Amino acid sequence: MTGRWLNIALAVYVGLIFTFVFAPIIFSLIFSFNSQRFPTIPLGEFSTEWYVKIFNDPDVWTAVRNSLIVSSSTAVLATVLGFCTAYTDFRYNFRFKGPYLALILLPPTIPLIIMALAMLAWLSRIGMSGQLWSIILAHSVMTAPFAMAIIRLRLHQMDPDLEAAAWNLGGNEWQAMRHVIVPFCAPAIVSALCLTAAVSFDEFAVAWFVSGLNKTVPIVILEIVQGNIDPTVNAIGTFVFLTSMSLVILAQLLFISRQIKSHS
């Protein structure tokens, strides 16, 4: 009776939710090609003015370079740390394992602003703040749990006899690691690299606090937003969005979709 109408109503509702979620992303994309300084409806003319503007801005280029350095270094560090923890959790049982895991998994639950303040105070204290690598240090702590989770999920799928089989065939523990565990985890490792890079690439609060004069892309955005309305933000935002999305889609293609399939 009302089943059909209920389905239609629900479909419309879900559509509205998705509209709300994606409206800012899509509008940002549209505005980035819009000639108006203060975009509204009706839209102005198509224009690549804002792209040209950021393309010719040396500050933006520096920020892009900084962001690439920060996110790639963060990705490598966080993935190494995440891998070590995931493997330890997979292989060993020991006292204080709970606190050990909490140590790595806790940071994402702490609000960014608090993390930013704590990092700034501490890194200044030990003379490590105001550098590009200050951001890398902070981001590695914040993103390692994501890498750990992805790699742990992969190890969970591994036949626990596989490592022992390598020993049984004459490989020592290091060889088993090199020839069995790492190859088995390879897709998860690449996926973890992509995701941690994507998270680091977008992070602005902690980066802004600890970076000193070294600006990354999100910091540039933050500074533009703090000033006047400037549509170059949309152009930069589109660039950031495309970068992050390629990383996420790469991670998805490599690992996550397979994960979902094998679990359902």
Interaction between residue 39 and another protein (CB under 8 A): yes
Q: How many residues bind another protein (CB under 8 A)?
A: 100
Interaction between residue 213 and another protein (CB under 8 A): no
Q: Which 225-264 positions form the footprint of another protein (CB under 8 A)?
A: 225, 229, 233-234, 236-237, 240-241, 244-245, 247-248, 252, 260, 264
Interaction between residue 72 and another protein (CB under 8 A): no
By CB under 8 A, name the one of 171, 190, 212, 250 that touches another protein: 171
Interaction between residue 207 and another protein (CB under 8 A): no
Q: Which stretch binds another protein (CB under 8 A): 44-52, 56-64, 66-74, 115-123?
A: 115-123
Structure tokens at 64: 């892009």
Interaction between residue 52 and another protein (CB under 8 A): no
Beta bridge partners of 34: 46
Closest CB 75 distance from another protein, rounded Å: 13
φ/ψ region of 130 (left if φ > 0, alpha if ψ in -120 to 50, else beta) reads left
By CB under 8 A, name the one of 60, 188, 199, 207 that touches another protein: 199
How many helices (DSSP H) and strands (DSSP E) are in the chain?
A: 13, 0
φ/ψ region of 212 (left if φ > 0, alpha if ψ in -120 to 50, else beta) reads left
Q: Which 124-143 positions form the footprint of another protein (CB under 8 A)?
A: 125-126, 137-138, 140-141
Q: Which stretch binds another protein (CB under 8 A): 51-59, 65-73, 197-205?
A: 197-205
Q: Which stretch binds another protein (CB under 8 A): 45-53, 58-66, 68-76, 222-230?
A: 222-230
Q: In the complex with another protein, which residue's Cβ is closer, 52 or 169?
A: 169
Which x/- pattern, by CB under 8 A, does the window 2-21 give for another protein? -----x--xx-xx--xx-xx
Q: Which amino acid is at 164?
A: A
Interaction between residue 93 and another protein (CB under 8 A): no
| Locus of tokens 């749990």 | 145
Interaction between residue 59 and another protein (CB under 8 A): no
Residues 170-196: b if buried by 16+ CB within 10 A, e if exposed? ebeeeebeeebbeebbebbbbbbbbbb
Write phi, then psi, for 114 (nearest 5 degrees).
-70, -45
Interaction between residue 33 and another protein (CB under 8 A): no
Q: In the complex with another protein, which residue's Cβ is closer, 98 or 125?
A: 125
In angstroms, rounded to a whole number, what is the distance separating the alpha carbons of residues 147 and 108?
Answer: 12
Q: Which stretch binds another protein (CB under 8 A): 44-52, 61-69, 117-125?
A: 117-125
In angstroms, rounded to a whole number, what is the distance separating the alpha carbons of residues 57 and 148?
Answer: 38
In angstroms, rounded to a whole number, what is the distance separating the alpha carbons of residues 251 and 106?
Answer: 23
- Residue pair 51/37 in contact by the 8 Å Cβ criterion: no
Q: Which 149-168 positions form the footprint of another protein (CB under 8 A)?
A: 159, 161-162, 164-168
Q: Side-chain half-sphere of 253: how many Cα atoms within 13 Å?
A: 7
| Locus of tokens 């996420």 | 248
Q: DSSP state, 1?
A: -
